[in-house]
A and B are shown apart, each in its own frame.
Chain A
Amino acid sequence: MSSPLTRVRLKQISQLIEKGKRLDERGLHDYRDLKIELGLIERAEGSARVLLGKTEVLVGVKVETGEPFPDTPNDGVQTVNAELVPIASPNFEPGPPDENSIELARIVDRGIRESKAIDTEKLCIEPGKKVFVVFIDVYVLNHDGNLIDASALAAMSALINTKMPNYEVKDGELKIKQGYTPLPLKNHPITVTIGKIGNTLIVDPWAEEEQVMDSRFTMAIKDDGNICAIQKGLSGFFTPQQILEASKLAQQKAAELRKKLNW
């Protein structure tokens, strides 16, 4: 799957796209089959597995305690990490995160952070001293295109699935009580990536299309329709007109997804 495509295949894909068709017979603006599974990792406070076509991403959320950042002493901390593990693609090598996994993590992080999806104020245990730290770890299990959208969906789903243990602070010490509370969430951002092949914009590019694609435009959209993160990627370019087109398309798809997922 991930071996470089032959010139013939690449040409075939771009010619089809120009005619408004895709190899897997989707519409230019259609998503592949989407399946979300929650809570499959019991050891994690929250987890979700997303299957977008054959792309598979697992996100585990761990909630621990730690120190707040000095400039936000009353807020909990959010951190996103992504791993493109070798099992996901013959092109992924073991080792420290490379620029692709770092960019992926930071895009997912931006959507969640800027939309204030996690109500970090409610994660304060002792102002200035102790807060909850939410670790969001993105684990890409199979790469068949559009890792960004799959990862963002999995991350948000995992957060929705996350439950924190009840606690009380007695004599400056954190004591765990019975029961759980869902992680306090204020928003449910949806991230949509638009790919550009020639002058055609497509939604949810799969792996082979990504080899033909020259640029991508990712947008994260809040519940209220406002935009909270944008990232243009790859070595091509968009005209300003295409930016606006991609922006409108992303907003439209986000609204559709939001309805479908009931977020």
Chain B
Amino acid sequence: MPTFFEKKQLVTPGELLAEGDYLPGENTYMEENKIYAQRIGLVDDENKKVNVVALRAFYVPKVGDIVIGTVVEVGFNGWTIDIKSPYTALLRASDVLSRPFKPQNDELSQVLNAGDLIVAKIASYDRAHDPQLTVGEPGLGKITRGQIMRVVPTKIPRVIGRKGSMISMIKQETGCQIILGLNGVILVTGKTPEDEEFAMSAIKKIEQESHISGLTDRITQLLKENKVKVEENKIE
């Protein structure tokens, strides 16, 4: 039974990918034994499962995911957070304040105000309720330094790399702290804005060229070249 594509081929919604003994994976669906693409992306198959890595997609919350979001509104007992998803997220005051929350006394906007950035974890989410966030773990909370960038959420795994190898390399070579929100929002904090911008450009390159083989080598090359440049500038 056949597949109808070449590895990493660009496909559009509705394109017939396979027929017969295959399973519909990411961004595909099955109708009468035929598998079709649901989104524009690059198609591949692994162990009889046909997947499309979407080039354009939005983030759907999953419990346990680390996300980076912006405070949109300060409410009566919590905050509304924009996590770049069809669903707005909520962060309860009780999650942030270590003591019992008294609505009359506590001024929530002093803790987190509209426009603030936070790193949080999806604590709960289901079809009937908006996602609830928590910042009650180490590494989570308000962001005070660094720059924010966005990539298509489906590319985050590629930015991480196999066993974290890609992201570790970027962190090491640029000296930046990088937090990858699974909702496609990334926080880069470095010693200088130049370091941060360089890390961001490396990540952007991964997003754009992830489907072209030899990416790891190219990124390694890019980082080395920059290191040399930085050294040269220092000498001058």
Q: Indicate whether A and B are direct neighbours in the complex (CB within 8 Å).
A: no
